[in-house]
Structure 1
């Protein structure tokens, strides 16, 4: 039915009034949102200031210094562009440190996750006295780097160390744990895995405890073996946690410094001269802050690439 002109004329003021009310409501909402933004900035301001001073400024300062030559106190002198990066990537010593770091990181990551998963699986068993072993497995979380280094230096001591005494008792040839290049790397890997094992065990143990028991009961009814249950129930169920642990462990491996400094000083013959320890020596021993800055940025890129690779490869196998 056609509307009369009179009805159109009466509805127009109502529509204008509704439109005006909507505009006022939206302006009020916008003013509230702007007010919320000020409050958010007020609360975030201190954190942003701290991040700017201690994170972003050093990062840009490192990038700036890597493009110059510097004097012994870190002041830039001559702009050289990418020469510091080119010199590093064509240096046999730096490439050796890079290779040593890769071996160390991959070994530490693989062994830490494998042993942590094994211990977490064993600790999930309902047997007498398992609480003591759960505490024992996670106890390394409370050990500092310096204490761990002293403890393992005593074990690896060539004359009075625990391993040396066992070798003598079994009439085995003595091993230079910290003097032989190959065994020094093994010693550092063992110590790092021992240090990381408590955290990894605790995280994986919590993940295994959260797996529904009904899945295992149904598998047992179907006659599935313990091995089948582990690889087809436990691993897929805790895959997000495994993914998280693998990323954290790999990044921590690249950043290892304390144990290297206290146990081997990068030796013998640069066999344990990791990238982070090399940055420390170049900056604070040699006074070459420009080269150390370039090394720090290269290490940042390497960590980012490995993390991205893990996301691309491992995330596809994660069951959320």
Structure 2
């Protein structure tokens, strides 16, 4: 059975996201080339700064438009939600074709609205669940939009974005167990949630877009679910904070205008307008901003105290990852792991 009509979700998401800023064919081609070059240039810089080693060409780099990002994330969500679909089928049996078509189209539209909004915001993303070793997506229209919005030097800004996203690619390809661990946690969350809660959450999402409020995180309510979510939050805070530390550590050596870029970008991260802030709350983006901030504080504190080589014990396995509580108490992590 189909819980979500993913094709319809992609159609809706693509329309909501739109094509992005107006650019000439030459400008678009130049952006694609510079992003690819930026990703390639970032790899040795990230390796040298972090001490993490990964084989060449382990995970592909794709420069995509907004519709390509929407399609990639619809595919990823479909994979993550597949255990829920299986669970629902086992519990209630297959619905009639008519009921399935109507229900999946409604949820597909709601997912599409959310993907469309996010598709206008994301600059880049590492997809660890793409077989076999993940892939890095760089969203060219959004990079161009932001660099214009904050009046950044295009070449500097594109390399700056690539440093952050390439750090994610190195994190996962240097530590293959990490993607498997995250997928296990995502499957555990999916398996613990009642399928009807997913549908209700998606409907709340549509209501919030029309002027209500709430968060997708509201569907996680039991102690078991919160425990799993805390583990995932700890990992994501580590990954995002580590990437921010790397881009700020490497940036001054290769990006002349990095200080101005960071200042203006931090201001932009706050979101603008009532609708934008509402959707950020709904989709948990406020929590993601906290992940960048808290994770970076954690990484900087540990590295300052013990050095990067000792810090890299964090990548030795699931038991060495910081918990959500340890992210805000890095000395507790040092005491436990080191």
Q: Tell me whether the two structures share a fold, i.e. TM-score over 0.5.
A: no
TM-score range, shorter chain: under 0.3
Higher relative contact order (CA 8 A, sep 6+): 1
| TM-score normalized by the length of structure 2 | 0.26
